[in-house]
Structure formats: C-alpha cells, structure tokens
C-alpha cells in the first residue's frame, strides 16, 4: 500500500517518514507527486490538516496523511499558532525562521518580562482516504522558549523550544530524542492506536 505524505515541508516529511518507517508502509511526498499546496483557510490545526489530507487523497487516489502544526506562545495569546509558517515569510513569500524566531522574541519582549516564556507545539495529523473517510489526531508538547536559538537539528522553531523537564532545545536534541516526546510523535501515537482498534 502507498501513502501520500501530504506536506511540502521537508522537515515534517523527514520526521513523518521516520515515524511511519517501522510499519513498512511505502510513502511518497506531496512534492514528488506534484500535488498543489491547498490554501489553508481553516481556523484550527485540525481544520487545516483535514483540508490538506482531503485534497491530496482526492487528487492522488491514494490514502493521504497531512500535518498542520505550529508554535503557540502563552504570553502572545497563542500566537503564532496556525500562522507559524506565515510568521516566517518575508514580502516575497520566502521563509526565514531566524526572522520568525526574532519576531517571536520581539513580541515577547514587548509583552514584558513578567509575561513568561511558556509555549507549546501542536500537531494535527489527518488521514484521509479517497472514499471520503477522514480521521484526525492532535498532539501537544509543552515547554518554554530561550534566546538565542540553539542547535541545527530539526526545523522551524526547534532552536528556541525547550520541552518541560529538559535542558536542550529541540534543535540540539538528536532526532530520536525529539521523536520520543514531540507533538508530532504524540499525534502519531494516537493515530496508530486508532488503526489498531
């Protein structure tokens, strides 16, 4: 069986491939199939994950697994949240997460020291079938933000996020360590539990 990983984000694709690998399912990325990126018009992680999985399953005729995720900062009322990718875009639409992390830092500084640095990542995974079925799962990991950014592993906001009970940022951790606790891994665990029932 073939599964479309309905993402154009290479960091996500790498992590999802690693999560799926033990199950021996053949995977193909959305970019490899030249699938378009649907416009993310949803107002929640799950809504956006569902529209991406639905579009990929319909266009490919294959089951599709999508991921909508982001960083939510408590002191910023949950921003950037579902707009996490957009916060990294410059005027020309190019993504620069160094810039995005600076924006978060500046917003937090404006909020004041007492606002705190608590944050969490959310990941919604949706699995859609060409026959119209769809199931979604959500995972979260809580922690706090640090500056300056540390580590080159992972992607996106990983260099500024330290999960609760740890010292290293996701950017400093080995991929296996991130997979042991990440929002994505937790959502995937729920998906696997559901598939088993």
Mark the binding-site residues for Mg(2+), compressed into ranges: 39, 68
The answer to whether 139 contacts ligand ITT (rule: CB under 6 A) is no
Q: Give 31 or 115: the residue with its C-beta nearer to ligand ITT.
A: 31
Q: Which two tokens stand for residue 17?
A: 């491939």
Beta bridge partners of 120: 72, 142
Q: Which of 29, 63, 70, 149 binds ligand ITT (CB under 6 A)?
A: 70
Question: Interaction with ligand ITT in 44-63: which residues (CB under 6 A)?
Answer: 52
What is 74-133 written as a DSSP string?
A: GGGTT-BGGGTTGGGB-TTS-B-HHHHHHHHHHHHHHH-GGG--EEEEEEEEEEE-TTS-
Binding mask 72-111 for ligand ITT (x = CB under 6 A): ------------xx-----------x--------------
Binding mask 19-48 for ligand ITT (x = CB under 6 A): ------------------x--x--------
The answer to whether 136 contacts ligand ITT (rule: CB under 6 A) is no
To ligand ITT, the closest distance from the beta carbon of 46 in angstroms equals 11
Q: Which two tokens stand for residue 90?
A: 């410059």
The answer to whether 172 contacts ligand ITT (rule: CB under 6 A) is no
The answer to whether 143 contacts ligand ITT (rule: CB under 6 A) is no
Cβ neighbours for 130, distance < 8 A, ≥ 6 positions apart: 57, 58, 60, 61, 62, 63
Q: Which two tokens stand for residue 115?
A: 């606002």
Look up 58 and say whether it is catalytic: no
| Gap between the Cα atoms of 64 and 30, Å rounded | 9
* Dihedral sign of CA atoms 70, 14, 155, 58 in order: negative
- In the complex, the residues that contact ligand ITT under the rule CB under 6 A are 7-9, 12, 37, 40, 52, 67-71, 84-85, 97, 121, 154-158, 170, 182, 184
């Amino acid at each position: 069986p073939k599964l479309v990983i309905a993402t154009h984000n290479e960091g996500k694709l790498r992590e999802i491939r690693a999560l799926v690998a033990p199950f021996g399912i053949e995977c193909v990325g959305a970019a490899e199939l030249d699938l378009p990126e649907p416009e993310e018009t949803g107002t929640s992680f799950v809504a956006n994950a569902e529209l991406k999985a639905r579009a990929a399953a319909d266009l490919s005729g294959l089951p599709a697994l999508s991921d909508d995720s982001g960083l939510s900062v408590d002191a910023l009322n949950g921003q950037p949240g579902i707009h996490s990718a957009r916060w990294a875009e410059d005027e020309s639409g190019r993504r620069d997460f160094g810039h995005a992390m600076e924006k978060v830092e500046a917003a937090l500084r404006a909020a004041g020291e007492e606002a705190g640095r608590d944050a969490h990542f959310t990941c919604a995974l949706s699995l859609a079938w060409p026959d119209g079925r769809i199931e979604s799962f959500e995972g979260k990991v809580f922690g706090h933000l640090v500056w300056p950014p540390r580590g080159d592993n992972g992607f996106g906001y990983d260099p500024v996020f330290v999960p609760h009970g740890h010292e290293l940022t996701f950017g400093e951790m080995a991929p296996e360590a991130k997979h042991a606790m990440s929002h994505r891994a937790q959502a995937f665990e729920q998906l696997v539990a559901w598939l088993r029932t």
